Amino acid sequence: IGIDVRGASRDRGELEALRSLMVPTSSGRSVPLTQVATLEDGFEDGIVWHRDRLPTMIVRADIRDALTPPTVVAQLMPQVEALRAQLPPGYTLDIGGSVEDSARGQNSINAGMPLFVFVVFTLLMFQLRSFSRSVMVFLTAPLGLIGVTLFLLVFRVPFGFVAMLGTIALAGMIMRNSVILVDQIEQDRRDGLEAWQAIIEATVRRFRPIVLTALAAILAMIPLSRSAFFGPMAVAIMGGLLVATFLTLLFLPALYAAWFRVRMPVEVAGQDRASPDGTVAVPSG
């Protein structure tokens, strides 16, 4: 049973005076506080915290610079679950702080993901004016996950809410490069080049702008990668953009040729089969 005892203002000026504080008893006599209680020094908030109109006890802790809140929570979850199972009825144990905020943000992103996909695909349709080409560009977005996973593992960075934001932004960067390449292929074909030659010429012509643009974005993320909060996002963008840029320049031309069934011209195939002395090997039969 909690009992609050408050002395006069002159008796509260010194902590030692509390030991000789006279407390009235039921018999009418007054006795020193030390005879009925054990005094211990401690710190306590001057208010009672409530959350969802329930009295709440908040436990806070600082973490080391090399760790992140999701990593610490993942390591402590077995002990937290064991403690939660031992709580009496009516008591709950919840995880708060930045981990809770990240979970709320992630839920909001998941709820808005269908709208995001619809808007992006609509913009691709306006730009490319072709359903098949829009789907082809959209399929290049997951290429960034290879670099994201690799860099997060190498730098030991957890895939949290901020890293997810970086991955979403990365998907837009990858699709932008794909749109540039596909649009150049279509432009070359309208200028009279054969489909096979247009694929090669567009890839070679757009190689330098795409690589330099990606390299500039990667270098710009290096200072941000040292940040405790935005570091996972920067690492995800750096790794995903580095790997996806080169994979896009290889994967997208091959996908375009396979998708639209573009075949190598006969004269090019003949040159590839030509022998060193200039003769062409013609298969028999």
- Would the CA dihedral through 180, 181, 183, 188 be positive or negative? positive
**pLDDT per residue over 225-234, tens digit each?**
888 778 889 9
Asked if the model's pLDDT at residue 281 lies above 60, the reply is: no
What pLDDT sits at residue 5?
65
CA distance 234 to 221: 5
Is 58 contained in some domain? no
**pLDDT per residue over 80-122, tens digit each?**
889 888 988 888 888 887 777 777 777 877 888 888 889 999 9
Band of residue 280 on the pLDDT scale cut at 50, 70, 90: very low
Is 22 contained in some domain? no
Is 169 contained in some domain? yes
Which residues constitute the domain of residue 259?
98-264
Q: Are 99 and 75 in contact, with CB atoms under 8 Å apart?
A: no
What pLDDT sits at residue 21?
77
Is 18 contained in some domain? no
Q: Are 278 and 207 in contact, with CB atoms under 8 Å apart?
A: no
Of the ranges 15-29, 108-122, 186-200, which is most confident?
186-200
What pLDDT sits at residue 174?
92
Is 20 contained in some domain? no
Count of domains for the chain: 1
Please give the share of the chain, as a percent, with pLDDT higher than 70. Answer: 86
Q: For residue 269, how far is the Cα from the chain centroid?
A: 46
What pLDDT sits at residue 274?
52
For residue 173, which of 199, 205, 147, 201 has the smallest C-alpha distance?
A: 147
Band of residue 271 on the pLDDT scale cut at 50, 70, 90: low
Is 15 contained in some domain? no
Is 114 contained in some domain? yes
Asked if the model's pLDDT at residue 284 lies above 60, the reply is: no
Total count of residues recorded for the chain: 285
Mean pLDDT on 60-66: 74
Band of residue 2 on the pLDDT scale cut at 50, 70, 90: low
**How buried is 205 (Cβ within 10 angstroms: 0-12 exposed, 13-18 middle, 19+ buried)?**
middle
Is 49 contained in some domain? no
What pLDDT sits at residue 149?
92
CATH number, residue 217: 1.20.1640.10
Q: In this structure, how many other beta carbons lie within 10 angstroms of the beta carbon of residue 247?
A: 16
Structure tokens at 54: 């329930």
Band of residue 277 on the pLDDT scale cut at 50, 70, 90: low
For residue 241, which of 263, 258, 265, 225 has the smallest C-alpha distance?
A: 225
Band of residue 13 on the pLDDT scale cut at 50, 70, 90: low
Mean pLDDT on 63-85: 81
What pLDDT sits at residue 243?
92
Asked if the model's pLDDT at residue 273 lies above 70, the reply is: no
Top pLDDT among 212 and 113 is at 212
Band of residue 218 on the pLDDT scale cut at 50, 70, 90: very high
Q: Could you tell me where the beta strands, DSSP code E, fall in the chain?
A: 22-24, 30-32, 50-51, 54-55
